[in-house]
């Protein structure tokens, strides 16, 4: 009986340990790879890829990117453990409470990253390259001596560059030999920087103690609520500027989406200003049901503007003759 009970508790401990390693891979963050879909849409529209030819590569691309992203999450959580102990919520993470071992992290990182890159080889050479760059960015962001997450402003810019990388992954899953316009890549980067700056802002306000905040995240030594808000304003303006270049150049009808996009940025800022804001943990944004509904409406509106022609909108970009 004693042996049976010992085996039982050992099995339970093993399962709990395995669940911790699954948790640090953050499968609940895989929804972020939806940012690949605009790259897919651009490939369908600008590169004349047939939808019937896109489905299988898209499935492989999403699976590959999820695994590579999870490899980055694994080292992120393990290397952040000593700092997460100063965060009111993150101090309960498996790594922060000492339930994760370095050897297991190395094995999981190699398994996830290696499998993700192997799946990438089933697609285009560009997709393999961008997958490898996504993996490298995880190292630069988390691992010393680089650890860009500890450098003020660079922390936001180096993390948000994963946004245009995801767009490129969606595009290159279907297209080889050409890249999407740089204007949309820059808009995506600055849009991601806005989202990340808002996350930093919400975290800083949530901790509500500059000294403790700087122990949790070194870059917080140099941030203030004001500097985070001002930088997010810069990122939002830059994103809309580059987005405007892209939208007007490729389809004038998209000019009608500008007020809707401006409202999207403003609404997200309002959410970030709430106490216990869900922008700290974007995987919980689904709780902002009205906002999520609006995002779905915006996507539908932009899809509709793909299909309708309004020649009279040319008056916004051409001299008015009378």
What's the CA gap between 92 and 102, in Å, rounded?
18
Structure-model confidence comparison of residues 226 and 275, the more confident one: 226
Closest CA to 108 of 71, 137, 77, 136: 71
Q: Which pLDDT value is given to residue 13? A: 43
Q: Which pLDDT value is given to residue 76? A: 94
pLDDT digits (tens, 9 = 90+) for 288-297: 899 999 999 9
Q: Domain-by-domain residue ranges, the chain?
A: 31-180, 183-310
Structure-model confidence comparison of residues 224 and 51, the more confident one: 224
Inter-residue contact 252 to 313 (CB < 8 Å): yes
Per-residue confidence band for 11, with pLDDT thresholds at 50, 70 and 90? very low
Above 60 in pLDDT, residue 10? no
Above 80 in pLDDT, residue 317? no
Fold of 31-180: Tetracycline Repressor; domain 2 (1.10.357)
What's the CA gap between 233 and 172, in Å, rounded?
31
pTM greater than 0.85: yes
Q: Which pLDDT value is given to residue 120? A: 97
Q: Which pLDDT value is given to residue 307? A: 83
Instruction: List the structure tokens of 279.
Output: 């922008």
Above 60 in pLDDT, residue 3? no
Structure-model confidence comparison of residues 111 and 286, the more confident one: 111
Per-residue confidence band for 169, with pLDDT thresholds at 50, 70 and 90? very high
Q: Diameter of the chain by CA atoms?
A: 97
How many CA atoms are closer than 13 Å to the CA of 269, on its beta-carbon side? 19
Per-residue confidence band for 15, with pLDDT thresholds at 50, 70 and 90? very low
Q: Which pLDDT value is given to residue 7? A: 54
Stretch 189-217: mean pLDDT: 93
pLDDT digits (tens, 9 = 90+) for 112-165: 999 999 999 999 999 999 999 999 999 999 999 999 999 999 999 999 999 999
Closest CA to 171 of 69, 44, 50, 43: 43
What's the CA gap between 36 and 30, in Å, rounded?
11
């Amino acid at each position: 009986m004693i042996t049976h009970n010992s085996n039982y508790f050992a099995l339970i401990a093993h399962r709990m340990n395995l669940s911790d390693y699954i948790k640090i891979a953050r499968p609940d963050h895989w929804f972020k790879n939806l940012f690949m879909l605009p790259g897919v849409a651009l490939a369908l529209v600008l590169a004349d890829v047939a939808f019937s030819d896109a489905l299988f590569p898209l499935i492989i691309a999403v699976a590959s990117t999820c695994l590579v992203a999870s490899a980055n999450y694994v080292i992120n959580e393990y290397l952040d453990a000593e700092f997460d102990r100063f965060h009111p919520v993150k101090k309960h993470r498996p790594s922060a409470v000492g339930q994760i071992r370095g050897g297991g992290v190395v094995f999981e990182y190699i398994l996830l990253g290696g499998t993700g890159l192997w799946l990438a080889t089933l697609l285009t050479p560009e997709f393999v390259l961008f997958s490898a760059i996504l993996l490298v960015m995880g190292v630069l962001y988390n691992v010393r001596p680089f650890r860009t997450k500890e450098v003020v402003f660079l922390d936001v810019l180096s993390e948000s560059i994963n946004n245009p990388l995801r767009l490129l992954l969606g595009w290159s899953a279907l297209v080889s030999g050409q890249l999407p316009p740089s204007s949309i890549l820059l808009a995506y980067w600055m849009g991601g920087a806005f989202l990340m700056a808002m996350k930093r802002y919400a975290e800083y306000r949530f901790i509500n103690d500059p000294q403790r905040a700087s122990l949790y995240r070194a870059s917080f030594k140099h941030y203030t609520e004001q500097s985070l808000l001002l930088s997010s304003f810069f990122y939002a303006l830059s994103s809309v500027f580059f987005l405007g270049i892209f939208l007007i150049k490729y389809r004038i009808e998209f000019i009608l989406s500008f007020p809707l996009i401006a409202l999207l940025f403003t609404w997200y800022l309002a959410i970030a200003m709430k106490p216990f804001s869900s922008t700290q943990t974007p995987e919980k944004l689904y709780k902002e049901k009205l906002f999520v509904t609006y995002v779905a409406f915006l996507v539908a509106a932009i899809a509709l503007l793909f299909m309708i022609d309004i020649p009279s909108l040319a008056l916004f970009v051409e001299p008015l003759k009378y």
